[in-house]
Amino acid sequence: MDVEWSLPTRSGSSSNSGLITRGLIIAKPWIGKILRGEKTWEMRSAHTHVRGPIALIEKGSGLIVGVASISGSIGPLGFEDIFDNEVKHRVGPETYTRDDYKWNHAWVLNQVSPVSKPVKYRHKSGAVIWVELDSGARDELNSQLSGKTTECDLSQVPIAKDGSWFGRENCCRKGYYTVGEKGCEQRFTDYQAALDYLRSMQTAKWRRPNAKGNWGIVSAVVWSDPQPTPFFRDS
C-alpha cells in the first residue's frame, strides 16, 4: 500500500506569531503516554494539515495539560505499517486488529512537554478534535511558556497534608517513582520526569513511605520549596 508522507512545513508557516492558539483533544490513556514521551504518533482516521505548536487537552477535563509540535502526518497506514510501528503509537494489537479499526493515519508529535500548571479553557459546543483557544486560555498558556508565570516555581515540589513531600531520595522505591491516580499509576526511573508528570496533574498524587515505612498514596495540598528531610504530622 502506498503511504503518503506529509513533510513538516517550514518554521512560521502554521503560526506567524509562534503563539499557541489551538488545542488537540486526546483521551486517556493516550494523553498520559504522550506526556511521558512513550507515544510519538497520535493515531487518527484522516490527515491533518496542521503543523507547528499546539496545546494538548485531556478529553473531558476542561484542561490544557501539555504542549507539543506536529511535524508531519503519515497515512493511510496498512496493517504491517501499524504493526511495525507499535512502539511509536502504543496502540495494542487487541485494538488495531479489530475489523472496525479506522485510525490509520499517524500525526507525528515532537517537542512534547507538560505545562507547569494545567490551564482551564472554554470548550466550544461541537468541538471533538480541535479547539480554538479562548483569549484567557491563550494568554495564560503562552505566559507560562514564555516564563512569565510565577505562580508555580519549577524548583518547587508537591507537599501532602501529612507534611511529606515528593523527594528524589525518599520517594524512590526499588529504582522507581510511582505517581498518578490510584488504579492508573505511572512508574518513572527518572525523578525529573516523575516531577513533570505530577505538574501535569490537576492534583498531584504519588506514593511515599509514611513514618512507619508503609507505602501509600498522598495528594498535594501545596507546592513549595523542598524540605531538608521528609516530615510527618497527624492528619
DSSP per-residue string spanning 94-150:
HHHTSTT----EEEEEEEEEEEEEEEE-PPPTT-SSEEEPPHHHHHHHHHHHTT---
Instruction: State yes or no: pLDDT of 223 exceeds 70.
Output: yes
Least trusted range by pLDDT, from 6-10, 63-67, 125-129, 201-205: 6-10
Q: What is the pTM of this model?
A: 0.58
Predicted pLDDT at 13: 33
pLDDT recorded at residue 206: 95
Count CB atoms within 10 A of the CB of residue 128.
7
Contact between residue 218 and residue 203 where contact means Cβ atoms under 8 Å apart: no
pLDDT digits (tens, 9 = 90+) for 195-209: 888 887 778 899 999
The arithmetic mean of pLDDT across residues 115-141, rounded, is 91
pLDDT of amino acid 201: 79
pLDDT at 27 over 90: yes
Alpha helix ranges (H) inside the chain: 30-35, 79-84, 86-89, 93-96, 135-145, 191-200
Q: How many CB atoms lie within 10 A of CB 110?
A: 11
176 HSE (CA, 13 A, CB side) = 10
Q: Where are the domains of the chain?
A: 4-145, 157-224
Confirm if 193 and 186 have CB atoms less than 8 A apart.
no
CA distance 226 to 7: 44
The topology under which CATH files domain 4-145 is 2.30.130
The predicted pLDDT at position 120 comes to 94
- Dist CA 2 CA 4 (whole Å): 7
pLDDT band at 15 (very low <50, low <70, confident <90, very high): very low
Query: Residue 212 is which amino acid?
Result: K
- Give the mean model confidence (pLDDT) for residues 44-71: 92
pLDDT score, position 6: 37
Instruction: Assess whether pLDDT exceeds 80 at residue 16.
Output: no
